[in-house]
Structure 1
Amino acid sequence: MEKDLSSTPAWELDKFVEDHIIADTRFLNKVKADIDYICTFLKEKHLKGVTRSVKLNELMNYKSLMKEIHFKDVKISKVLMSGCFDSESDLKDTTEVNITIFLKGLQIFEEVFWRWEEFLEEIKKELCKLPGEEKFQLHYEVQNPEECYPSFLSFKLSSSELQQEVECRVWLARDVLPDVLPDVLHKLRNNPVLGPEICNDTYSELIHECTTPESEGNYSLSFVELQNNFLEDRPPKLKKLICLVKYWHQLCMEKLGKPVPPRYALELLTVYAWEHGSGVADFSIAQGFRTVLKLITKYEYLIIYWTVYYDFQHGEVSDYLRRQLQKDRPIILDPADPTRNIAGCTIMGWYFLADLAEEWLDYPCFKNRDGSQVRSWKVLTEVPGTKQQVTRNFFSRSYFSFPVSP
């Protein structure tokens, strides 16, 4: 398939994505229906775990307080599919779906880790009750029901008729966002007149809890709903471009056989390229694809972040964010969690991927009908000079980067 994509003329990339990459809607609809059923089944369940008390300083020296937490019943408040799983932005051969279970009643983030095994054991028992139900559209099977994974549970949905299957991984997260906050923040992104102050007190305080060195990036699952919202209302063609980039990333993993940057980093890089290079609903897929690959070849210069759900207005978060942006590049901060640098994998992973991207830039998929090279978008620099400049427009995507040459 690599040969097929690389040799596809630039003007036929749209059709290639539709014919060979975008997932089968019949299978996806069945997967969604079954996962919705499982999510509904799990909601409102209570996890008793082991009733006991612990001293925080014995576990993680949390804020150096000698304080006891009395573990009690924990409620599953909501269950969400993580990431983008729909007919517009996922691959035909999707093999994995992430499901996040949000737990209500935990007092601090660390408690998820302390009680991980207890919670997973109880959820596994609940999942094992489901195969007897007749409401599934696909074959449902809990993976290794006698063995608990260290950090997640797994079940499989498959169709012999369509010859497709998907592994669903179940993760745990502390429910920290007030029920209305994700919707409010989502509306604020498209209506800056409302002002950012509505979320500063709640959301920024939560982010501040995650900024200790031992906590950085560990609790991003609690903000999955905001990650989903960040991509939800994007134009269909941008989702198609994201799909193409994810497919290319899959080809690179298969060819290199080495660690490469995570797929989510490339998804965010694609959004960034479109926002600052195009921003319109109808654009050239080939131009967008080439721009993303050019950005990858310049990975050592990447410093990218968004001021959608957090910004510089909260003093402690602002100081932390500035420290984050001074770290070694590449930097691509999670739009929902500034403590998580998605690009922070091994530098060699970026090196190998950039080398392959450079090779792809000469392939026929970036040639016009007259034989000329497809031109990249101009991704211009905006380097804020002062805190006032950065915070003047809360909803603009502030970033540090570089111009991309055609």
Structure 2
Amino acid sequence: MTLQRETKFVAVETSTSCRMCSKQFGTVHAREHHEKQEHHFTASKRAQMSTGFKTENFLDYKTPVEITKFVEAKLRPVSGPVRLACASEVEGIIAFIKEEFPLPITSVTKGGSYIKGTDTQDWSDVDIVLFSNAFESLEDCQRKIPEVLEELGKRLIKSSWTNRIIMQKKTLFSLRFYFKCYKDCHGHSFDIMPCSDMLGPALSAGLKESFYRKLYLCGDNDKIQLYTMALLKYQAEFVKASTERVKDLIRLMKHWLKTSFAKPTEKNKFRRLPSSYAVELITIYVWELAGKPIFFSFVQGMRAVLKLLVQYQEICIIWHKHYRPNFPIFQKVFLKQTRPFVPDPVNPTFNVCENSNAWDEVAHVARQSLLKPLFNGLQAKEPWLFTNNW
């Protein structure tokens, strides 16, 4: 299984869609009842269709030292001159995109795992949002985006970068391509997104809350995607602020997500596992519960995250850096919450866990993972003693 790029910033009731036929339901409970009745999705069938540990899985290691070496050798991007060259190449292609963009640009926002510092040796993505005042309104932006992306795509293909770009299927709002980076030894998956400049450079509390109200009241899913592009900068900053050790733990958790689940089959082709962003946020939260230690054991940290995932129905994680607890929009969303509940730290209208309809499978695989040699006989130590209550 490869990590899938999100085609949208915000999922649309995905948690309530069937894994087998994609039929939508009003609640997660109704969806699960349908799966049992119509598709005979029993606990044993779930176990069979969810677990798929790779051979020579890192969970078969037996010591913390082995895990540290694995992170350094296999997950953490290569450092030194190669990383510096990589940074230069990425900035070079971004500068070219800005030059060739068909409209005047007011500002540029960068996101994705590469920018946040959570990329791995085999997966790196870069999101670029190009804001322009040439769009007269959000509706005008919606209308013009396909033409703008078409023109930008043509210019990239005709450029000197063409041999290093592999164009991929466009989404409704983005130009997507794979960029072969330094000496073709690795690459990055790019999403280029034009957008109306809705927020501007200075973001006051009042402007932010007004923006959230528009987002909450918007009934057009396509417009919601455009609204949320304006928040990419703050999403990236939130994760980027974590320590390097936490980013390594995030890499471990994303690798776990990639290597521990069975591939979807024709029977459950509508199954959707949690997004990498949801995994990042849950991992950061667990680290914060431990008191934000600078140095900690990867095995202890990973065990803590897996134990929390086992009890996903209890997960309720809220940060109030960008919106206050008594903000009416947040309170409305909170009252309608489904678990797990992890509202985006920069967007109170969106629960990042809603884009998965397989949290029960995540819990099952987490439970099986904790039985692996890596965690055999492992007891919680300071500062992870709080996990004894899970």
TM-score, length-scaled by structure 1: 0.71
Contact 1:143 1:156 in 2 (8 A): yes
- The aligned counterpart of 2:113 is 84
Shift of 1:132: 6.0
- Equivalent residue runs for 1:7-406 within 5 Å: 7-12=60-65, 13-25=67-79, 28-43=83-98, 47=102, 74-85=103-114, 89-94=118-123, 96-131=125-160, 140-143=164-167, 149-158=171-180, 163-181=185-203, 199-215=204-220, 218=225, 219-253=227-261, 258-312=271-325, 318-326=327-335, 327-347=337-357, 349-367=358-376, 371-374=377-380, 405=389
For residues 246 and 287 of structure 2, the distance between their equivalents in structure 1, rounded to whole angstroms, comes to 8
**Counterparts of 2:161 and 2:238, CA distance in 1:** 37
Q: Deviation per CA, 1:160-214, whole angstroms, max 9, x where unpaired?
A: 9564333322223333333244xxxxxxxxxxxxxxxxx2112221122111152
By percentage of residues, which structure has more strand? Answer: 1
Q: CA deviation at 1:306?
A: 1.0
Q: How has the CA–CA distance of structure 1 residues 2 and 233 changed in structure 2, closer, same or farther, with 3 Å as cutoff?
A: farther
| Matched position secondary structure for 1:131 | coil
| Aligned 8 A contact 2:116 2:237 in 1 | no
Work out whether residues 75 and 104 of structure 1, in 8 Å CA contact, stay in contact via their aligned partners in 2.
yes
Opposite residue 16 of structure 1, the aligned amino acid is F
Aligned partner of 1:389 in structure 2 is none
Shift of 1:361: 0.8
1:17 deviates by 0.7
Q: Distance in 2 between matches of 1:312 and 1:107?
A: 34
Q: What RMSD over aligned residues (CA atoms) do the two structures have, in Å?
A: 3.0
* Structure 1 segments unaligned to the other structure (5+ residues): 48-73, 134-138, 182-198, 381-402
Matches of 1:122 and 1:263, distance apart in 2: 31
Contact 1:366 1:374 in 2 (8 A): no
Give the CA deviation at 1:308: 1.0
CA distance in 2, matches of 1:234, 1:92: 19
Aligned-partner Cα distance in 2 for 1:256–1:287: 30
1:5 and 2:54 correspond: no
Q: Secondary structure at the match of 1:344?
A: helix
User: Once the two structures are aligned, what percentage of the paired residues are identical?
Assistant: 23
Kindly provide the CA deviation profile for residues 313-357 of structure 1, in whole angstroms up to 9, marking residues without a partner as x.
Answer: 6xxxx111112112221111111111221100343x111111000
Instruction: Say whether the 8 Å CA contact 1:98–1:169 is kept in structure 2.
Output: yes
Deviations 1:3-33 (A, max 9, x none): 3411123422222211111123465544432
Instruction: List per-residue Cα deviations over 1:235-264 (Å, max 9, x = no partner).
Output: 111111111111111113555664211111
Distance between the aligned counterparts of 1:376 and 1:97, measured in 2? 36
Report the TM-score when normalising by structure 2: 0.73
2:303 match: secondary structure: helix
CA 1:148–1:267 in structure 2 vs 1: closer, same or farther (change >3 Å)? closer
Task: Name the aligned partner's letter for residue 354 of structure 1.
Answer: A
Contact kept, 8 Å, 2:114 with 2:125, in 1: the verdict is no
Q: Which residue number in structure 2 is paired with residue 400 of structure 1? A: none
Question: Which structure has more RCO (C-alpha within 8 Å, separation ≥ 6)?
Answer: 2
Counterpart CA distance in 2 for 1:18 and 1:366 is: 20
Say which one has the larger Rg: 1
